[in-house]
Amino acid sequence: MVQQPQSKPLELVVADPSTGASCSIPVPNGVSKTQGMHASFVVLPTSESARDTLTVLDNRTNKVYTIPITDGTVKATDFRQVQDTTGEGLRLFDAGFVNTAVARSRITEIDGAKGILRYRGYPIEQLSEKSTFLEVAYLLIYGELPSKNQFDDFEYEVMHHTYVHVKLAELEQSFQYDAHPMGMFIATMAAASTFDPSGNPALAGSDIYTKDKKLRNKQIFRILGKVTTIAAMAYRHRIGRPANPPQQGLSYTENFLYMMDHLSEPGFRPHPVLARALDVLFILHADHELNCSTAAMRHIGSSLVDPYSAVAGAAAALYGPLHGGANEAVVRMLESIGTVDKIPAFIESVKRREKKLMGFGHRIYTSYDPRATIIRKLAYDVFEVVGTEPLIEVAQALEQVALTDEYFTSRKLYPNVDFYSGLIYKAMGFPLDYFPVLFAIPRVAGWLAHWSEAMDEPNAKIWRPRQIYCGEARRDYVPIEHRDETDVRLTEMTKTASSTRRRISSWEGKKPGKL
């Protein structure tokens, strides 16, 4: 029998002249995975003039392409020139944006391997020790630390806009008493966009924020000012107490705690240690590059919608348990462990993949999260005022075990910002379901910084990712009476007795006996 030759697998041979190396990347269905760019390289000869480029050999067509390299990246659109025999350009597939950069930014720098976090070049350690949240917000949004006059003006404008329209307050009061505070926060922030027609691009013009920086600043002041008031109103409504109006003469975090906690005490002022601790936590959570919610802010903002709507959308992304709910999950995990002596059994259950170790590991950091180091020290300042949180001993013991266990260290699982932050919030008396709101308040500063940066980008385009269609080929419509019967039901769900009663009730036109 004559053996048939096997067809050559489709692949790209990519060479990097700057290092003199190459790798092969499979090309299934005309799509190259960007994760393949991480592969090891073998040395090839090169010339000095070809440095800072990739040389791509397409084994499907034997054509060679040269792709420029800028800042360690290549443009996905440059791969359109890599075409098969049908003329279809190559696209890059990166599920979950694991190795894809979608924006150039000057705001936040992260080195995950070295555990470095900097806002506008300033180390997070220095800012958390010496700065304030409002000063950091100014830095993130405008790029430089403010002068005394600049900061005074900024603080005045933000605090001046802490009051909200009475109709917004009535909206929050209309929610069910047990509504999740994050749901109230998102809905009220979205509704705030309807109170300023001059700031609505749908009414005032699509380019108002790309051309008018004064209007942009006006909305930044308003949102930063109102976000704490909206958040505090959600908390007060949840516990059945009337909202406190903002109090002038207090710092940003002091005013927030005042609106949260003031009852009828004359001269009420939050404890300075707790106010400072919250200020530091706000600094640490103010921005973290293109995380899920910040990417959502830029994505929504690229449509040139108003910033209130974009912030509401970003907050909705933060609401998810994989993002803003992580520190709540840590506290629940520690509560389930209960005592130090139960940690070994818990660790073994994690290794058997029966339970998850929350608060460890990060998409970016492969070393200790620098924010976790700061929060760990901050926790003891809070405990000196409010008393020791019993779960801190469990957290410390769990951390020690995980950091000395090869199973976790080999996977580069180190404590992240969520591991200790939830314990501080719990010790300060915040309910667990309020944790995402405490995350959202400071992250608004980062969202607005990214939104403003995007508005300054020349020739910016609306974000519109591509997909790889994996569905059915062309099909012709079949009338319902000619379709095959099936027992598969699409309405399976948890039913109550009343819903079943309504479903089996008769109504005109319903076939007898059909449920």
Residue type, 506: S
Closest CA to 120 of 449, 357, 389, 429: 449
In the set 323, 381, 405, 433, the catalytic residue is: 323
Question: Cβ neighbours of residue 487 under 8 Å, at least 6 residues apart?
Answer: none
What whole-number distance in Å separates Cα of residue 43 and Cα of residue 203? Answer: 59
Distance of CA 31 to the CA centre of its chain: 27
CA distance 433 to 383: 21
418 is catalytic: yes
111: exposed, middle or buried (C-beta count within 10 Å: 0-12, 13-18, 19+)?
middle
Strand segments, DSSP code E, in 112-268 are: 116-119, 122-123
- 476: CB partners within 8 A, 6+ apart: none
What is the C-alpha to C-alpha distance for residues 91 and 80, in angstroms, rounded to an integer?
A: 7
Q: Give the active site residue among 279, 362, 369, 450.
A: 362
Length of the chain: 515
Which segments within 60-157 are labelled E, that is strand?
63-68, 91-93, 108-111, 116-119, 122-123
Q: Number of helices and strands (H, E) in the chain?
A: 20, 10
Q: Verify whether residue 323 is a known catalytic residue.
A: yes
Is 362 labeled as catalytic in the residue annotation? Answer: yes
Strands 91-93 and 31-33: parallel
∠ CA 210-216-222, rounded to 5°: 155
500, two tokens: 């079943």
CA 336 to chain centre: 27
Coil vs helix vs strand at 244: coil
Find the catalytic residue in 279, 287, 306, 418. 418
Catalytic residues: 323, 362, 418
